[in-house]
Amino acid sequence: MIQGPQFLSADQFLLTTLVVKLAIMAALATMLVRYRRFRHILIFERRAWPDRLTFAFSFGIPLTAGVAARLLLGYNAADLSLAGPFVLGLVAGPYAGALVGVMVGTPPIAAGEWIALPFAVGCGFAGGGLRALCPAESIWHFSPFIFSQLPKRLWKMIRTPQVDWQVVLVLAPVALELLRQVLGSRFGTHHRLFYLSSPSPWMMLLVLLATVLAVATPIKIWNNARIEHRLQEQDKLLLAAQIEALANQINPHFLFNTLTSISSLIRTKPDTARMLITKLSALLRRLMKSHEHFVTLREELASIDEYLDIEVVRFGSKLRVAKEIDERTLGVIVPSMILQPLVENSIKHGLTRRVTGGQITIRSTRRSDGHTVIEVADDGLGMSEDRLSSALQDGIGLSNVNERLRVIYGAGYQLRLHSVPGRGTSAQIEIPDMMMPDRITA
């Protein structure tokens, strides 16, 4: 019998202990799942021994400290020597559960509780044995809310000769708790095994309920983390697919326009056409060697130089190129082929129809908020307000750039166009600081 402070009855103190016990288990499970290494171990059902040991010690050390707190300080709510090994056995296998059982069962031996060690190890093996029999997803579906469906599930299990693993997962910790009660009452006079008990049948039901919840709560918390991780992975895959589709869209568009330019020179300037084909081959060879969706601005500018080499050969002295690049921006990560459509648009719509040609200026600046602003401007014919408002919808190149910015960085990032008829057009993009993404390759 657990005796409480004078201002609480024994049953009130027991109820408080059970509530705090569940809170401790939930806090421990939540704290552990915040660590990336622990979450990584949770994701995979097949774990190597180093992962199992990491899992066991991460969970077992705090549980052992809880048992020590009970022995030294009389803090009974911290003792989770049944639920802890059983949970580890369910999630990581019998040997991991047994290892945690050894950890939590060893300190009580010093206090004469010699049944604690074999009982805790047995709980670990019981969880591991159930894991071997039970489908993995059934374990992860085990939830504290299972009690709302328990009568229906029990009736269905009785009517049909089919095992309902959720019912089995409820009954297993209940059976272990009843075994602990029997062993504790049998050897209780000698304090051979710690247990929580009460002469009230209703309080005993609460003890059994708390044992089941102490098992189901960490599984529920960890399963939520697994689901969140899977959703994040799905988001990454979806984003990579969107980026891949947009990249695949812009490459044929660029190739078609360049080949059109070459075809117009084949008869009038065959040598120039031949030179353009050579440069185009070099550019395509470079693009084919790289499957990267993200590059540094330095690499992106190198690709633009190769493209401009082709255009300068076409237009000769009519096309002038200037660069105003902030050295601090060269290492910024940008989507690959993000500038080529902007340069192509300036040449095609801004300068081609201008008799005297013109200049394209590529600028990059570093803002104090960590964003990099990249601008492609020309001094060509410019666009009217009506044409400017429809530019992002009508053309493949500009709409592609705008969509890629939105997909990668969010709705707040988009292509900004500014144009003055007769004076030129400016296309500006804003790039936030980012590390080289994990999804950089196709």
The pLDDT tens digits for 158-177 are 777 777 788 888 889 999 99
Q: Given this model, what pLDDT does residue 177 score? A: 93
Q: Which residue has the higher pLDDT, 15 or 273?
A: 15
Residues 6 or more apart in contact with residue 181 via CB below 8 angstroms: 195, 197, 204, 207
Q: Among 338-342, 354-358, 373-377, name the one with the lowest average pLDDT.
A: 354-358
The pLDDT tens digits of the residues spanning 374-385 come to 999 988 888 877
The pLDDT tens digits of the residues spanning 110-148 come to 888 899 999 999 999 999 999 988 887 788 888 777 766
Q: Given this model, what pLDDT does residue 119 score? A: 94
- pLDDT, mean of residues 29-56: 81
115, two tokens: 């049944």
315, two tokens: 């237009």
Number of neighbours of residue 100 by Cβ within 10 angstroms: 32
For a pLDDT cut of 70, what percent of the chain falls above it? 85
- Residue 359 to residue 341: CA distance in whole angstroms: 16
Rg for the chain, CA atoms, rounded: 34
Phi–psi pair at 409, nearest 5 degrees: -105, -15
Angstrom CA distances, 281 to 250, 258, 270, 285, 310, stand at: 17, 11, 16, 6, 11
The pLDDT tens digits of the residues spanning 398-409 come to 887 888 788 778
- Average predicted confidence (pLDDT) for the chain: 81
Q: Does the pLDDT value for residue 1 go beyond 50? A: no
- Residue 396 to residue 412: CA distance in whole angstroms: 21
- pLDDT, mean of residues 413-430: 89
- pLDDT, mean of residues 24-52: 82
Single out the residue of 409, 324, 414, 326 nearest to residue 366, CA to CA: 326
Phi–psi pair at 340, nearest 5 degrees: -60, -45
Q: Given this model, what pLDDT does residue 63 score? A: 94
Residues 6 or more apart in contact with residue 187 via CB below 8 angstroms: 115, 193
Residues, the chain, total? Answer: 442
Strands (E), 143-222: none
Residues 6 or more apart in contact with residue 228 via CB below 8 angstroms: none
Domains of the chain: 10-232 (no CATH), 264-431 (3.30.565.10)
22, two tokens: 């569940």
Phi–psi pair at 416, nearest 5 degrees: -110, 125
Q: Does the pLDDT value for residue 231 go beyond 50? A: yes
Q: Does the pLDDT value for residue 4 go beyond 50? A: no
Single out the residue of 410, 406, 401, 414 nearest to residue 250, CA to CA: 401
Q: Does the pLDDT value for residue 389 go beyond 90? A: no
Q: Given this model, what pLDDT does residue 251 score? A: 56
406, two tokens: 């939105």
Residues 6 or more apart in contact with residue 179 via CB below 8 angstroms: 119
- pLDDT, mean of residues 268-282: 81
Q: Does the pLDDT value for residue 438 go beyond 60? A: no
Max mean pLDDT among 66-80, 141-155, 288-302 falls in 66-80
Number of neighbours of residue 402 by Cβ within 10 angstroms: 21
Single out the residue of 85, 90, 174 nearest to residue 132, CA to CA: 90
Q: Given this model, what pLDDT does residue 439 score? A: 41
300, two tokens: 């992106």
- Residue 198 to residue 184: CA distance in whole angstroms: 12
Q: Given this model, what pLDDT does residue 372 score? A: 92
Residues 6 or more apart in contact with residue 176 via CB below 8 angstroms: 82, 86, 123, 126, 211
- Residue 223 to residue 226: CA distance in whole angstroms: 5
Residues 123, 85 contacting (CB under 8 angstroms): yes
Single out the residue of 310, 304, 274, 273 nearest to residue 287, CA to CA: 304
Residues 87, 223 contacting (CB under 8 angstroms): no
Query: Which residue reads 């009038």 in tokens?
Result: 268
Q: Given this model, what pLDDT does residue 272 score? A: 80
- Residue 384 to residue 422: CA distance in whole angstroms: 10
SS3 assignment, position 312 = helix
For a pLDDT cut of 90, what percent of the chain falls above it? 27
**CA 104 distance to own-chain centroid:** 33
